[in-house]
Amino acid sequence: EAGVAQSPRYKIIEKRQSVAFWCNPISGHATLYWYQQILGQGPKLLIQFQNNGVVDDSQLPKDRFSAERLKGVDSTLKIQPAKLEDSAVYLCASNKISSESSYNSPLHFGNGTRLTVT
Amino acid sequence: AQKITQTQPGMFVQEKEAVTLDCTYDTSDQSYGLFWYKQPSSGEMIFLIYQGSYDEQNATEGRYSLNFQKARKSANLVISASQLGDSAMYFCAMREMDSSYKLIFGSGTRLLVRP
């Protein structure tokens, strides 16, 4: 099966500019996640979608970050305006979880988008 | 409060030897799952092994095994017969069985295998 697709692979922007990342999950995966991974740290969950509804966005800086998942498939994550501390790898992941019976389902990750804010 | 703690920022191991990477977790739930992921320098996150809180036996997957001590809330990853390709970051993660089933990661351990 095709994996999680993300684009772009790399992005360099200046602070205060805007940027958008795109993710296409594995076909049939109901749950989609965006993680932020700062260099040397573990991934931090930004937002989780179940189909096209938001399940958890408690750690999303909503004053500058937004995300949507139209039609329950592709998702975009946007940053506007970007700050220096947003420099990180943004990982998209998906899995099949839609009920308690699939809670042991691992997340499948894309290759990430490496963002550098100068 | 930190949910997942990995106290070893970096570890060395000699090729062909075994190594244990530590992970402790914090939860008040009875139902939860523990995962280990590998992240090579190329950046992709590779799923290695899973342990459910109700599993009576320690999980094993090839050269990977999980030393699960529920009372101590630890889920250490054991890699046997280390290979040079095992050099990578290793992350422990937990999923609590609340309404979101979100996966929370630890800070990781960097493993370097010496030839």
pLDDT tens, position by position, A98-117 = 655 567 888 999 999 999 99
CA distances from A53 to A75, A94, A102, B67, B69 (A): 11, 14, 19, 37, 36
Q: What residues pair up with A23 in beta bridges, in sequence order?
A: A6, A75
User: In the predicted model, is pLDDT for residue A70 greater than 90?
Assistant: no
Residues in chain A whose Cβ is within 8 Å of chain B: 31, 33, 35, 41-45, 48, 55-56, 89, 91, 93, 97, 100, 103-104, 106-109, 111-112, 114
Comparing A49 with A103, the larger pLDDT belongs to: A49
Residues B6 and A63: their CA atoms lie apart, in Å, by 31
Find which of A37, A89, A114 to mutate to test the B interface (most B CBs within 10 Å of its CB).
Answer: A37
Q: What is the distance, to the nearest Å, from the Cα of residue A114 to the centroid of all Cα atoms in its chain?
A: 12
Contacts of B43 in chain A (CB under 8 A): 89, 111-112, 114
A111 → closest Cβ in B43, B95, B103 = B43
Torsion of CA B13, B23, B50, B42, to 10 degrees: -50
Separation of first and last alpha carbons in chain A: 37
Classify residue B82 by burial, with Cβ atoms within 10 Å: 0-12, 13-18, 19+: buried
Question: How many degrees, rounded to 5, is the angle at CA B7 between CA B5 and CA B8?
Answer: 135
- pLDDT tens digit sequence for B26-40: 998 888 999 999 999
Strand partners for B49 = B36
Task: Check CB contact under 8 Å for A108 and B43.
Answer: no
Please state the φ and ψ torsions of residue A86, each to the nearest 5 degrees. -85, -5
Q: What pLDDT is stored for residue A101 in this prediction?
A: 53
Sort B6 into a burial class: Cβ within 10 Å, 0-12 / 13-18 / 19+. buried
Give the pLDDT of residue A51: 86
Nearest CA to CA, how far is A21 from chain B (Å)? 17
Q: What is the pLDDT of residue B29?
A: 86
Mean pLDDT of A51-79: 93
Core vs surface per residue A1-10: b (16+ CB within 10 A) or e: eeebebeeee
Long-range contacts at A48-57 (CB < 8 A, ≥ 24 apart): A48/B100, A48/B102, A49/A75, A50/A97, A50/A98, A55/A31, A55/B99, A55/B100, A55/B102, A56/B100, A56/B102
**B35-91 confidence digits (pLDDT tens):** 999 999 988 899 999 999 999 899 999 999 999 999 999 999 999 999 999 999 999
For chains A and B, count residue pairs whose Cβ atoms are closer than 8 Å.
55
pLDDT at A71: 83
Give A111's contacts in chain B (Cβ within 8 Å): 43-44
For Cα atoms B35, B89, A107, give the angle at the middle one, nearest 5 degrees: 35
Helices (H), B1-115: none
At residue B101, the pLDDT reads 77
In angstroms, the CA A79 to CA A66 distance is: 7
- pLDDT tier, A97 (very low <50, low <70, confident <90, very high otherwise): low
Taking an 8 Å cut-off on Cβ atoms, the answer to whether B102 and A45 are in contact is yes
A16 or A103: whose pLDDT is higher? A16
